[in-house]
Amino acid sequence: MKRTIRIITIAACTLMLFGCSLGISGNERVVHAPEPAKIEIEGSYSYLSVVPLEGTAEINEADYRNLTAYFDTTEARVGSETVKLPEYKVKLVKVFDFLLNRYRLNPSRLNLKDGEMEVYDISTENKSFYQVFSLEKDMIGIIQGKNFIKLVRSGDAAPTNQKSTGAAPEMGLAFDSSSKVISYQPKAGVLIGLRSARTEDEGSSYRTLWIYSTGEYQNAYEVEGILFPRREFMLLSVARYKDDDKVFESLLIKPAGRQVITENDLGTLAITAERYIDVGFVGNDYIGISQGTGITGRDNSLPYQKILAVDNYAEYKGVNITEIAGEEGMEALIRSYESESIRDSSLQALGGSIGNLAESLAMVRKNGHWVLTARLNSAKEPAKDYADIAVSLIPPAKLITYDELQVSWSRIKEMVPEAKDVISAPGNAFVIVRTPRYLIMFLYDEYMNLSAKPVMTIAVDEDEEMIMAEWARGDFVDRWTETASSAGVKLQPEVSVKDN
């Protein structure tokens, strides 16, 4: 009898332990209402402070002082907005990486501690409600409209009096197309710069695609080299030649109308040592390059990187982060380095200095946005051993003037599972999704609905990297089309694609 009881007891405990593991995958756990499961943020909260997400915005704090919130498995409430039987999905994220990549926020504005935090996605019937950030013990944060609001726990019971909804009660997440009033303009175009993978005999190659839509029809042109706009259109290329089996590569930037590059042009450049150059980013006034006397074996890249001012590109002098982002940029760089050093102890072994790090900058693409990075080269073997650090800072307007994404990355992955990148037109004329082998254009309609059927696809090589996205809208589209058509050739894109 005792043996039977022990077996039953062990079986029951096993079921309980197994049951507790259900709904947990990696760092994410799901609590389904109306189960009486405990959630860490359960309880009522009162207003603590508010910070505008746009630095120049003015806030009337009185609009928020009576704001309360409440969360349990039967109800979730923020202000006067309420959902019944909410579902809570929890994930553990790195504070600065998450806020920068998901919301394009400069994390230092929010005065948050570095490290990790839990983020609760609250939804009901497959509709998003709010994202709640568990900041510190008994403190949470939410984004409402264009403001970041901190609330502090005030008890376990639901608040009985709700006097205010806050200044901007909006369903959904800030910076998502569903929660913003956006002026629709169907006419827009983009210059996309592409760089191929480096080959031993020829180096990297570059081309520009001009892709545009008038709302009624779509077209595309291809230009050799990188065509980018300043006061006039400029054409960037990398000149390559050999001398005694040594390779010399140099940047060339000239007005787009000057199509012929002569030997005399090449001879005017001061080159004193063998050098390889790859262009990794092109903006109006700055370009990012990597360079070195040889290609590293670990990732076939060049070991040194820097951002150059276009006006002084021939000097190959990298700008300091303070030149493009001020002291705020330096503070973000230091904070990012310290945070990454805690997570990766091998960085300390590399040595180097913050001063060198501040001039070893690059812009890279990640989940539909430009991200500023800094490279830490080893003090002992800088050409062989290095690490890249993402800087917790929204790239300033000096580097990139437009980098908005009006549709979420998760939505893009639902539409195109093979998506590697995406860019979104100002005025929401279209989005272009990058897959390994195609650029695929999807249009919005005047009601801000993104069509599930592509209107144009353009073949690209799998090894081509996007290094530029410069936008035009309205009447400028016609002017840019005229330049692209005279400098390049018209493409014959496909209408649809079966194999992405």
- pTM, whole model, 2 decimals? 0.66
Count the domains in the chain: 2
Is the CA virtual torsion 310, 311, 312, 317 positive or negative?
negative
DSSP 8-state symbol, 167: S
Q: Is residue 219 part of a domain?
A: no
- CA 308 to CA 363: how far, in whole Å? 12
448: left (phi over 0), alpha (psi -120 to 50) or beta: left
Q: Which residues of the chain have pLDDT under 50?
A: 1-36, 161-182, 259-270, 496-500
Q: Are 92 and 116 in contact (CB under 8 A)?
A: yes
What confidence score (pLDDT) does residue 298 get?
Answer: 62
Q: 290 to each of 277, 279, 294, 352, 427, how far by Cα in Å?
A: 6, 7, 11, 18, 34
Element (H, E) at 82: strand 81-84
Q: At 181, is the secondary structure helix, strand, or coil? A: coil
How many other β-carbons are positioned within 10 Å of the β-carbon of residue 116? 15
- Domain span including residue 298: 194-206+224-390
Q: Are 295 and 198 in contact (CB under 8 A)?
A: yes
According to DSSP, the residues that pair with 250 across neighbouring strands are 239
Q: Say yes or no: 130 and 278 in one domain.
A: no
Q: 160 to each of 68, 142, 156, 166, 446, how far by Cα in Å?
A: 10, 21, 12, 17, 42
What confidence score (pLDDT) does residue 115 get?
Answer: 82
Q: Is residue 94 part of a domain?
A: yes
Q: Which of 324, 357, 390 is the last residue of a domain?
A: 390
HSE-up (13 A, CA, CB side) for residue 148: 21
What confidence score (pLDDT) does residue 283 get?
Answer: 94
Which candidate, 451, 448, 449, places its Cα nearest to that of 433? 451
- Phi and psi of 480, rounded to 5°? -70, -35
Q: Say yes or no: 55 and 87 in one domain.
A: yes
pLDDT digits (tens, 9 = 90+) for 58-105: 777 777 888 899 999 999 998 878 888 899 999 998 888 788 777 767
Q: Say yes or no: 165 and 201 in one domain.
A: no
Q: Is residue 212 part of a domain?
A: no
pLDDT digits (tens, 9 = 90+) for 408-421: 888 888 889 999 99
Quote the Cα angle for 329-472-486, to 5°. 120
Which candidate, 454, 453, 428, 427, places its Cα nearest to that of 439? 454
Is the CA virtual torsion 421, 415, 481, 459 positive or negative?
positive
Q: Is residue 469 part of a domain?
A: no
Q: Which of 390, 423, 443 is the last residue of a domain?
A: 390
Q: Are 491 and 221 in contact (CB under 8 A)?
A: yes
Q: Is residue 379 part of a domain?
A: yes
Q: 28 to each of 42, 90, 173, 444, how far by Cα in Å?
A: 17, 5, 19, 33
- CA 443 to CA 345: how far, in whole Å? 46
Q: Is residue 330 part of a domain?
A: yes
Q: At 374, is the secondary structure helix, strand, or coil? A: strand
Identity of the amino acid at 442: F
Q: Is residue 35 part of a domain?
A: yes
Q: Is residue 4 part of a domain?
A: no
Distant-in-sequence, close-in-space partners of 449: CB < 8 Å, separation ≥ 6: none
- CA 121 to CA 63: how far, in whole Å? 25
Q: In what order do the strands lie in the sheet with 206-213?
A: 465-473, 188-195, 206-213, 218-224, 489-490
Q: Say yes or no: 200 and 98 in one domain.
A: no
Element (H, E) at 121: strand 116-124
Q: Say yes or no: 200 and 144 in one domain.
A: no
Q: Say yes or no: 59 and 145 in one domain.
A: yes
Which candidate, 178, 177, 54, 145, places its Cα nearest to that of 428? 177
For 91, the token pair is 């994930």
Q: Say yes or no: 308 and 235 in one domain.
A: yes
According to DSSP, the residues that pair with 243 across neighbouring strands are 246
Q: 187 to each of 229, 420, 440, 445, 449, how far by Cα in Å?
A: 18, 25, 17, 12, 16
Q: Say yes or no: 168 and 228 in one domain.
A: no
Which candidate, 181, 194, 256, places its Cα nearest to that of 470? 194
Q: Say yes or no: 26 and 75 in one domain.
A: yes
- Phi and psi of 418, rounded to 5°? -85, 5
Q: Say yes or no: 285 and 382 in one domain.
A: yes
For 411, the token pair is 């939505």
Q: Which of 362, 390, 418 is the last residue of a domain?
A: 390
Identity of the amino acid at 196: S
Residue linked to tokens 């002098």? 317
Q: Say yes or no: 100 and 35 in one domain.
A: yes
The b/e string for 399-409 (b: 16+ C-beta within 10 A; e otherwise) is bbeebbbbbbb
Q: Say yes or no: 141 and 46 in one domain.
A: yes
Which candidate, 206, 282, 232, places its Cα nearest to that of 482? 232
What confidence score (pLDDT) does residue 261 get?
Answer: 42
